[in-house]
Amino acid sequence: MEDGFCICIVGLGLMGGSLALALRASDDDRSAAGLWPRESAASAWRSARIVAVTRNQQALAAARTANAIDDGSGDLAEGVSAADVIVLATPVRTIVRMLAEVGQHARPGALVLDLGSTKSAVCAAMAGLPDGLQPVGGHPMCGKETAGFAAAEAGLFRNRPFVLCPLPRTQPCALQRAESLARAVGGRPIVLDPATHDRAVAGISHLPYALAVALVRTVEAAADPVAWSLASSGFRDTSRLAASDADMMLDILFTNREAVVGWLDACTGQLAMVRDALAAGDDTTLRACLAGAQTRRAGLTV
Amino acid sequence: MEDGFCICIVGLGLMGGSLALALRASDDDRSAAGLWPRESAASAWRSARIVAVTRNQQALAAARTANAIDDGSGDLAEGVSAADVIVLATPVRTIVRMLAEVGQHARPGALVLDLGSTKSAVCAAMAGLPDGLQPVGGHPMCGKETAGFAAAEAGLFRNRPFVLCPLPRTQPCALQRAESLARAVGGRPIVLDPATHDRAVAGISHLPYALAVALVRTVEAAADPVAWSLASSGFRDTSRLAASDADMMLDILFTNREAVVGWLDACTGQLAMVRDALAAGDDTTLRACLAGAQTRRAGLTV
């Protein structure tokens, strides 16, 4: 990468913060921490200047202290205007809203990447960017139920799929640059179209979240103090996603509404099958149901 | 405890095996491993003779090698006839079936404790034991999605609630003995009536299991290879319980049918609320739903 190459990260939460930390980790740091294999792409990205755009002064100060960024700004136009790569790492509906302003101020040729959890709405908005810009939708398949720069870590993307959704107009060299960035932070780039991505993550991410929310709300509504006192690792893990940031999740659900509703209906059907077999005392059906799920889940490697 | 005191553990799976290992761990082992505070009750139990009843020769051999048991038998009558404490650690419906035979062969005054996950059916069957026996239903609130002696560990019960359900006829000294046993393996004894226990665990254990099964079956039915390839920690944790032993879970669900169906119906209602708010684009309702669950779940300490 040429001298003075500049990355602008908009949003310094878990995703944006972790990206900055991962780009900045020295080869020795990575090697010593066993974070991910040394790769030539990583050191090239490491020399880039990183500018963060956020109104969160606490996150800015923490990121400076961690040496994760070179500069910070509360002004989107100022931040993106000098950048070769712009990474939008805010909640999804904020990304969609910001794209028009990004388009007005980004320099021609800049790669515009986002880290939002749904891709159809973002890629549709990216299609409205001026011709000279190079849009790529992005979604690193990792996360925690804790949010903010305080939760960020350099190893967040390590060995995780990093979905990339180029637009028809995106030049091959821009997609290659996005893939190089994904690898530099330890991820495994996977190119998908936005609809395929959104349908898949609705099933393996947004549906589990909705189930966790329903579970917590059900136990809460029962107002049974004995139940809470007996909660163990099973309840803890099944309900974990319910602690996710509600504002972030609201954006995700509303920008993937059709797919999520479809999966919710399918899952409600499966739940009804379990319920009805149990209520009817149908040992054979219920056994087949549970045994099939056991085999499938035991074979999962994540 | 007097010399020659004998404990018979029926079933050497995760629960029975862990109980034997926990009883056998020396005070020094416990202290060194930081397993649980040294307690006078523990060393008294440690000198007891432990006999296992199981037809699983592999588990018997492994338990002997681990020095977790003194003797083993494939014959229930032989195993229980010389025991001062009988611990039934098989799937629930097997416990219920075995109790008549246990009653025929147990020596007068023996404590009959079980480790099954539901208590109403077990305690109802325990009521049929001969007058001289001392029945206490038991349920340690711990577990894993892996089964068998190979998964057993001395620390399984550490700091976890250990529910005890004495019958009206159970003598106070028998309940005290059961509490002492629960403490000796590191647990926190909690006395509950069977119905209260079963209603509570249906919500915080059996409902999460059913949700995990429905989740796995839903993704399986969709036959979307992209979905499986993108599955991350969220899916992994939410679906973990689905890997539980199907036979064990079948017994649990069928001996707690009414309570589980009730919780499933309540949860289906909560899920429908999330689904309908999302489908209708009702930002306000959905936000309240998600934010409430976030607050409640973030406050959970398990």
Which of A40-54, A143-157, B69-83 tops mean pLDDT?
B69-83
| The pLDDT of residue A144 | 79
| The pLDDT of residue A28 | 64
pLDDT-wise least confident of A27-41, A101-115, B39-53, B232-246: A27-41
Q: How many CB atoms lie within 10 A of CB B14?
A: 25
Same domain, B235 and B184: no
Q: Do B240 and A237 touch (CB under 8 A)?
A: yes
Among A97, A219, A287, CA closest to B91 = A287
Sign (positive or negative) of CA dihedral B109, B115, B120, B124 = negative
From A136, A160, A192, the end of a domain falls on: A192
How many Å lie between the alpha carbon of B162 and the closest alpha carbon of chain A? 9
Q: Name the H helices within chain A.
A: 14-24, 27-33, 40-46, 57-65, 76-81, 92-105, 120-126, 172-184, 194-201, 207-222, 225-230, 233-239, 246-254, 257-279, 283-298
Partner-chain residue, chosen from B197, B208, B233, that has the shortest CB–CB distance to A234: B208
Residue A271: closest C-alpha in chain B: B214
Residue A219: closest C-alpha in chain B: B203
Q: Do A246 and B294 touch (CB under 8 A)?
A: yes
Per-residue pLDDT band for B28 (boundaries 50, 70, 90) equals low
**pLDDT tens profile A183-222:** 999 999 999 999 999 999 999 999 999 999 999 999 999 9
| The pLDDT of residue B39 | 57
**pLDDT tens profile B157-172:** 999 999 999 999 999 9
Q: What is the mean pLDDT of residues B135-147?
A: 90
Token output for A297:
């889940």
- For chain A, give the percent of residues with pLDDT over 90: 88
Tell me whether residue B54 is in a domain. yes
| The pLDDT of residue B46 | 85
Q: What is the mean pLDDT of residues B151-156?
A: 94
- For chain B, give the percent of residues with pLDDT over 70: 93
Residue B238: closest C-alpha in chain A: A238
**pLDDT tens profile A50-104:** 999 999 999 999 999 999 999 999 999 999 999 999 999 999 999 999 999 999 9
Q: What is the mean pLDDT of residues A28-52?
A: 71
Same domain, A177 and A72: yes
From B192, B221, B245, the end of a domain falls on: B192
Same domain, A270 and A138: no
| The pLDDT of residue B55 | 95
Q: Is the pTM of this model over 0.90?
A: yes
Same domain, B106 and B178: yes
Q: How many CB atoms lie within 10 A of CB A29?
A: 12
Tell me whether residue A218 is in a domain. yes
| The pLDDT of residue B144 | 79
Same domain, B29 and B104: yes
Same domain, A60 and A179: yes
Q: Do B257 and A281 touch (CB under 8 A)?
A: yes
Same domain, B28 and B158: yes
For chain B, the residue count is 302
| The pLDDT of residue A2 | 64
From A172, A192, A212, the end of a domain falls on: A192
* pLDDT of B215 above 70: yes
* pLDDT of B1 above 70: no
Q: What is the mean pLDDT of residues B195-204?
A: 98
User: What is the Cα–Cα distance from B21 to B138, expressed in whole angstroms?
Assistant: 18
pLDDT-wise least confident of B22-31, B114-123, B250-259: B22-31
User: What is the Cα–Cα distance from A219 to B138, expressed in whole angstroms?
Assistant: 23
Same domain, A180 and A286: no
Count of domains for chain A: 2
Task: Assign residue A274 the CATH number of its domain.
Answer: 1.10.3660.10
Task: Assign residue A172 the CATH number of its domain.
Answer: 3.40.50.720
Token output for A60:
């800015």
Give the best residue of B188, B199, B218, B255 to mutate against chain A (max A CB count within 10 A).
Answer: B218
| The pLDDT of residue B113 | 98
| The pLDDT of residue B4 | 80
Tell me whether residue A33 is in a domain. yes
Range of the domain at B72: 6-192
Partner-chain residue, chosen from B239, B267, B302, that has the shortest CB–CB distance to A233: B302
**pLDDT tens profile B90-111:** 999 999 999 999 999 999 999 9
pLDDT-wise least confident of A3-12, A182-191, B41-50, B181-190: B41-50
How many Å lie between the alpha carbon of B294 and the closest alpha carbon of chain A? 4
Residues 6 or more apart in contact with residue A217 via CB below 8 angstroms: B270, B289, B292, B293, B296
| The pLDDT of residue B266 | 98
Partner-chain residue, chosen from A143, A228, A293, that has the shortest CB–CB distance to B234: A143
- For chain A, give the percent of residues with pLDDT over 70: 93
| The pLDDT of residue A211 | 98
**pLDDT tens profile A138-192:** 999 997 778 899 999 999 999 999 999 999 999 999 999 999 999 999 999 999 9
* pLDDT of B41 above 80: no
How many Å lie between the alpha carbon of A242 and the closest alpha carbon of chain B? 5
Same domain, A87 and A128: yes
Tell me whether residue A14 is in a domain. yes
Residue, of A229 and A31, whose pLDDT is higher: A229
Q: What is the mean pLDDT of residues A111-128?
A: 98
